[in-house]
């Protein structure tokens, strides 16, 4: 072989080795930059995930509070409903008694009323003390009857 040709082949061979090393170095640097960029993205995703977990936990606590409040309102509503039902029954009973009393008054059974004798005594001029002694009434009952029926002749 010719020395200049051998030199040229050696130079070409050295150039290929140098180009191979350069390409390998560039690929290695690109791989390192890509790896650093991916590590940065993973850390950012971890922070975002931690923030989202914190938000979800806050929302979960808010939902628990709202559910608890809703149950309390439901219990209070049920209690109020029961009380209203009881009051409705009591009112119906009172209306029924008043209706019966009104029927008695209209049919003339008022004469048999337990207070009828006391009302006659009041119209005849009986005092509170006399009513208390004779009819076994309390002071308040006797005073009320006199106020209601005392002015009539």
Residue among 135, 85, 17, 43 nearest 35 (CA)? 43
The reply to whether the predicted model has a pTM over 0.85 is no
Q: Are 124 and 142 in contact (CB under 8 A)?
A: no
The predicted pLDDT at position 152 comes to: 46
| Segments in the chain below pLDDT 70 | 1-9, 12, 105-113, 151-153
If one counts every other C-beta atom within 10 angstroms of the C-beta of residue 145, the result is 20
The predicted pLDDT at position 15 comes to: 79
The predicted pLDDT at position 10 comes to: 73
Q: Are 145 and 122 in contact (CB under 8 A)?
A: yes
For residue range 109-135, list pLDDT tens digits in order: 555 567 778 888 888 888 899 888 888
């Amino acid at each position: 072989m010719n020395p200049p040709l051998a030199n040229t082949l050696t130079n070409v061979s050295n150039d290929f080795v140098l180009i191979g090393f350069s390409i390998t170095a560039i690929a290695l640097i690109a791989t390192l930059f890509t790896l650093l960029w991916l590590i940065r993205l993973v850390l950012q995703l971890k922070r975002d995930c931690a923030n989202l977990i914190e938000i979800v936990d806050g929302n979960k606590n808010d939902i628990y509070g709202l559910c608890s409040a809703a149950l309390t309102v439901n219990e209070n509503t049920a209690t109020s409903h029961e009380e209203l039902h009881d009051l409705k029954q009591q009112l119906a009973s009172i209306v029924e008694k008043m209706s019966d009393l009104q029927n008695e008054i209209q049919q003339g059974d008022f004469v048999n009323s337990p207070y009828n004798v006391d009302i006659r005594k009041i119209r005849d001029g009986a005092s509170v003390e006399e009513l208390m002694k004779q009819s076994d009434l309390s002071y308040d009952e006797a005073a009320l009857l006199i106020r209601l029926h005392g002015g009539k002749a």
